[in-house]
Amino acid sequence: MKTLNTITGFAVAAAALGFAAQSVSAQAIYTMNGGKVRDTTGATTAFTNAGDNGFTGNVGFDFTPTANESVTSLGYFNFNGTATAGSGLTNAHSVGLYDPAGTLLASTLIAAGSVGTADTNGSVFVYNSVTPVSLTAGTKYTLFGTTGTSPGDGFVENATGTIYNGITYNQNQYNASATLSGTRSNGGAINFQAPGYFGPNAIIASAAVPEASSSIGLGVLLALGGIALIARKKSVKA
């Protein structure tokens, strides 16, 4: 019985020192509060209303995490939900995450009719959970989403908003495939605002670092481990 109590105390002390499971925070790669919304026909609706050519294919961007992260969900922008509360997507949208070699790491299909929820900037995205994908700090990844073929759903150029502070936005990307594809056509913009192709999005999860000093904590844990071992030996002799 003494052995059990000592080991239990060891576990409680370890947790108190910050060696319990790390807490995890999650947020979208970006949020938007403005930009030029266009669809497959070129029709636009505010955010802003400058006319433009239509586009059917894959839109997206390259990004680089500044720390090791993981992607837990993939999603697509629902402008219909932003403009008219409760309206679902007109088209289904495939969304894919690719590594630098063009290998598909995760994908999902956002169903037509999906509504989603508004983020802190009022933009509405629909997300599906995926098997978590680990991202390596300093490695460039590409996020693509299909626009659909019917008019109605919008993607955004010249977006204004906020990029998650653990992500560096590199360059917009596109291709004219009607199905999900990782082909990169190097759109050329090297910032969030101009022109940018924003439809696909992802939820990034990062583990919070414990505050306790690992070196001090390790020494105390080793000492507690020795106490537990001595207590166990005494219990066996008794």
List the domain boundaries for the chain: 2-20+211-237, 24-207
24-207 has which CATH code? Answer: 2.60.120.820
Q: Model confidence at 128, in pLDDT bands (50, 70, 90)?
A: very high
Residue 168: what residue type? T
Helix (H, G, I), strand (E, B) or coil at 12: helix
Per-residue pLDDT of 34-93, as tens digits, reads: 888 888 887 776 666 555 667 899 999 999 999 999 999 999 999 888 766 678 999 999
Per-residue pLDDT of 99-121, as tens digits, reads: 999 999 999 999 999 999 888 88
- Please indicate, yes or no, whether the overall pTM of this predicted structure exceeds 0.85: no
Give me 38's structure tokens: 């266009």
Per-residue pLDDT of 175-203, as tens digits, reads: 999 899 999 887 665 566 566 789 999 99
pLDDT of residue 123: 87
Average pLDDT on 9-35 reads 60
pLDDT of residue 192: 65
* Cβ neighbours for 227, distance < 8 A, ≥ 6 positions apart: 6, 10
Kindly provide the b/e burial profile for residues 49-65, where b requires at least 16 CB atoms within 10 angstroms of the residue's own CB. Answer: eeebeebbbbbbbbbbb
pLDDT of 170 > 70? The answer is yes
Give me 201's structure tokens: 């999005």
Give me 119's structure tokens: 């983020």
Q: Are the CB atoms for 78 and 124 separated by under 8 Å?
A: yes
Q: Model confidence at 16, in pLDDT bands (50, 70, 90)?
A: very low
Residue 9: its H or E element: helix 2-14
Residue with tokens 């990062």: 206
Q: What is the mean pLDDT of the chain?
A: 77
